[in-house]
Chain A
Amino acid sequence: MSKTAIITAKDVDVFYGDKQALDKIALDIPEYKVTSLIGPSGCGKSTFLRCINRMNDLVPIARVEGDIRIAGQDIYAPEVDVVALRAQVGMVFQKPNPFPKSIYENVAYGPKIHGLAKGKTEMDELVQWALEKAGLWNEVKDRLDQPGTGLSGGQQQRLCIARTIAVKPKVVLMDEPCSALDPIATAIIEELIDELRQNFTIVIVTHSMQQAARVSQRTAFFHLGTLVETGPTKNIFTSPEDERTQNYITGRIG
Chain B
Amino acid sequence: MATVDTNTPHDALDLVNSQRKKGVEFVVMAILILCSLVAVLVTVGIVLSLIFEAYRFFERIPMTEFLFGTQWSPQTALRADQVAAEGAFGAVPLITGTLLISFIAMCVATPLGLMSAIYLSEYASKRFRDFVKPALEILAGIPTVVYGFFAALTVAPLLRSGGESVGLNVSSESALAAGLIMGMMIIPLISSLSDDVINSVPQAMRDASLGLGATHSETIRKVVLPSAIPGVAGALLLAASRAIGETMIVVMAAGLAANLTANPLEAVTTITAQIVALLTGDQEFDSAKTLSAFALGLLLFVVTLCLNIIALRIVRKYQEQYD
Question: Do the beta carbons of A5 and B5 come within 8 Å of each other?
Answer: yes
Question: Which of B1, B12, B18 is most buried by chain A, counting CB atoms within 10 A of its CB?
Answer: B18
Question: Which of A71, A80, A170 is most buried by chain B, counting CB atoms within 10 A of its CB?
Answer: A71
Within 8 A of A (CB), among B1-58: 1-6, 8-20
Interface: A59 (CB within 8 A): no
Known contacts A84-B18, A87-B18; A73 and B8 CB within 8 A of each other: no
Q: How many angstroms from the CA of A4 to the CA of B6 in the assembled complex?
A: 6
Known contacts A72-B9, A115-B19; A84 and B1 CB within 8 A of each other: no
Known contacts A71-B10, A73-B13, A88-B13; A2 and B18 CB within 8 A of each other: no
B4 shortest CB reach to chain A, Å? 4
Known contacts A4-B10, A72-B10; A85 and B15 CB within 8 A of each other: yes
Known contacts A81-B20, A83-B20, A231-B1; A5 and B15 CB within 8 A of each other: no
Beyond the given pairs A4-B4, A4-B5, A170-B13, 16 more chain A to chain B contacts, judged by CB atoms under 8 angstroms and listed by A's residue number, are A3-B5, A5-B8, A8-B6, A28-B4, A30-B4, A70-B15, A71-B13, A73-B13, A79-B16, A81-B16, A84-B17, A84-B18, A85-B15, A88-B13, A88-B14, A231-B2
From B1, B10, B15, B19, A6 is in contact (CB under 8 Å) with B10
- Chain A to chain B contacts (Cβ below 8 Å), 8 pairs: A5-B6, A28-B4, A70-B15, A71-B11, A73-B13, A81-B20, A88-B15, A232-B2
Chain B residues with Cβ below 8 Å from A28 are 4, 6
Closest to B17 in A: A81
Known contacts A72-B9, A72-B10; A81 and B15 CB within 8 A of each other: yes
Interface: A1 (CB within 8 A): yes
Chain A residues with Cβ below 8 Å from B17 are 81, 84
B29 shortest CB reach to chain A, Å? 14
Closest to B11 in A: A71
Within 8 A of B (CB), among A21-41: 28, 30-31
B11 shortest CB reach to chain A, Å? 7
A216 shortest CB reach to chain B, Å? 14
Chain A residues with Cβ below 8 Å from B1 are 230-231, 235
Known contacts A4-B10, A6-B10, A71-B10; A80 and B4 CB within 8 A of each other: no
From A2, A80, A115, B15 is in contact (CB under 8 Å) with A80
Question: Which of A3, A170, A232 is most buried by chain B, counting CB atoms within 10 A of its CB?
Answer: A3
> Chain B binding site: helix, strand, loop or mixed by DSSP?
loop
B21 shortest CB reach to chain A, Å? 11
Which A residues have a C-beta under 8 Å from some C-beta of B? 1-6, 8, 28, 30-31, 70-73, 75, 79-81, 83-85, 87-88, 114-115, 170, 230-232, 235
Question: Do the beta carbons of A84 and B4 come within 8 Å of each other?
Answer: no
Chain B residues with Cβ below 8 Å from A3 are 2-5
Q: How many angstroms from the CA of A30 to the CA of B13 in the assembled complex?
A: 16
Q: How many angstroms from the CA of A221 to the CA of B293 in the assembled complex?
A: 75
Question: Do the beta carbons of B15 and A73 come within 8 Å of each other?
Answer: yes
From A6, A31, A84, A115, B14 is in contact (CB under 8 Å) with A84
Chain B residues with Cβ below 8 Å from A81 are 15-18, 20
A65 shortest CB reach to chain B, Å? 19
Question: Do the beta carbons of B10 and A75 come within 8 Å of each other?
Answer: no
Question: Do the beta carbons of A70 and B13 come within 8 Å of each other?
Answer: yes
Q: How many angstroms from the CA of A71 to the CA of B20 in the assembled complex?
A: 22
Question: Which of A30, A73, A114 is most buried by chain B, counting CB atoms within 10 A of its CB?
Answer: A73
Chain B residues with Cβ below 8 Å from A114 are 18-19
Q: How many angstroms from the CA of A134 to the CA of B14 in the assembled complex?
A: 25
Chain B residues with Cβ below 8 Å from A85 are 15
Q: How many angstroms from the CA of A170 to the CA of B4 in the assembled complex?
A: 18
A70 shortest CB reach to chain B, Å? 6
A1 shortest CB reach to chain B, Å? 5
Question: Do the beta carbons of A4 and B18 come within 8 Å of each other?
Answer: no
Q: How many angstroms from the CA of A2 to the CA of B6 in the assembled complex?
A: 10
Q: How many angstroms from the CA of A200 to the CA of B4 in the assembled complex?
A: 18
Closest to B5 in A: A2
Question: Do the beta carbons of A75 and B9 come within 8 Å of each other?
Answer: no
Question: Do the beta carbons of A2 and B3 come within 8 Å of each other?
Answer: yes
Closest to A73 in B: B15
Closest to B16 in A: A79
Question: Do the beta carbons of B10 and A83 come within 8 Å of each other?
Answer: no
Known contacts A70-B13, A72-B9; A83 and B18 CB within 8 A of each other: yes
Q: How many angstroms from the CA of A30 to the CA of B19 in the assembled complex?
A: 29
Q: How many angstroms from the CA of A84 to the CA of B19 in the assembled complex?
A: 9
Known contacts A81-B20, A83-B18, A84-B18; A71 and B5 CB within 8 A of each other: no
